[in-house]
C-alpha cells in the first residue's frame, strides 16, 4: 500500500448524485391543495357563509358542506388545473364560471375572480348558484352535484359519489332522509 488516503469511489458518488437528482423534483413540487392550513377564524367564516348561502334550507346547507368537504379550498386559494383553468376560494369555483357570473351580476371579470378567491360569502353564494342552476337545468339532484364539478358525464358521476360519501360522513347514513319536522303529517 502506498499510504495514500482513498476517498469514496466514483461509483458510490455517482449513485449519490443520481439519487439526489431523482429526489429533487419531489422536493420542488408544491404541496397539494388539501395541505393548506386555514388562517385563524377562517373555518368559522366559511361555515357562516355556507349557512347564509343555504337560506335556511337544511338540504342545501348539507349539499354545500358536501361540496366544501370534497373541494377543500381556503380563502385566497387559486389552484391550477391541468386544463389551464384554476379553482378559486373555499368551494374551489372553477374560473370557467367567472365570465358567466360576471354577466349575471354585471361586474367585471377581474372583480368576480378576486371575490371568488378572497370573499368566502361570495364564493359560497357562487357555489349555491352553480349547484341550483344545474338542478334547475336537469331536475336531478346528483346530476347537479356532478355539474358543479365537470361537464363530462363520467366525471360528474364520480364526483357526485365522492360528495355523497362526504355527506354521509358529516351527517350520518340517513343524511338524505327527511327530518321529522320536514315530513308531511
C-alpha to C-alpha distances, 8 to 1, 15, 122, nearest whole angstrom:
17, 11, 61
pLDDT at 185 over 80: no
pLDDT at 69 over 80: yes
pLDDT at 34 over 50: no
Q: Say what the pLDDT of residue 110 is.
A: 97
Domains of the chain, CATH where assigned: 33-174 (1.10.530.10)
Mean pLDDT of the chain: 80
Write down the pTM of the prediction.
0.73
CA triplet 162, 138, 67: central angle to 5 degrees? 30
Q: Say what the pLDDT of residue 179 is.
A: 63
C-alpha to C-alpha distances, 81 to 16, 27, 96, 101, 109, nearest whole angstrom:
34, 20, 11, 20, 19
Residue-wise pLDDT for 146-172, tens only, equals: 888 887 888 888 888 888 888 888 878
C-alpha–C-alpha distance, residues 148 and 128, integer Å = 9
Residue-wise pLDDT for 111-141, tens only, equals: 999 999 999 999 999 999 999 999 999 998 8
Amino acid at each position: 500500500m502506498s499510504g495514500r488516503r482513498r476517498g469514496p469511489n466514483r461509483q458510490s458518488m455517482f449513485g449519490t448524485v443520481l439519487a439526489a437528482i431523482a429526489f429533487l423534483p419531489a422536493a420542488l413540487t408544491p404541496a397539494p391543495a388539501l395541505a393548506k392550513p386555514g388562517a385563524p377564524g377562517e373555518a368559522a367564516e366559511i361555515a357562516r357563509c355556507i349557512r347564509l348561502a343555504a337560506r335556511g334550507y337544511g338540504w342545501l346547507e348539507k349539499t354545500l358542506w358536501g361540496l366544501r368537504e370534497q373541494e377543500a379550498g381556503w380563502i385566497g386559494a387559486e389552484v391550477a388545473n391541468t386544463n389551464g383553468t384554476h379553482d378559486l376560494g373555499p368551494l374551489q369555483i372553477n374560473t370557467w364560471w367567472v365570465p358567466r357570473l360576471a354577466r349575471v351580476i354585471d361586474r367585471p371579470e377581474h372583480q368576480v375572480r378576486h371575490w371568488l378567491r378572497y370573499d368566502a360569502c361570495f364564493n359560497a353564494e357562487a357555489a349555491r348558484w352553480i349547484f341550483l342552476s344545474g338542478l334547475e337545468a336537469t331536475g336531478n339532484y346528483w346530476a347537479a352535484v356532478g355539474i358543479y364539478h365537470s361537464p363530462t358525464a363520467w366525471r360528474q358521476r364520480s364526483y357526485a359519489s365522492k360528495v355523497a360519501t362526504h355527506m354521509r360522513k358529516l351527517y350520518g347514513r340517513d343524511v338524505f332522509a327527511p327530518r321529522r319536522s320536514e315530513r308531511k303529517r
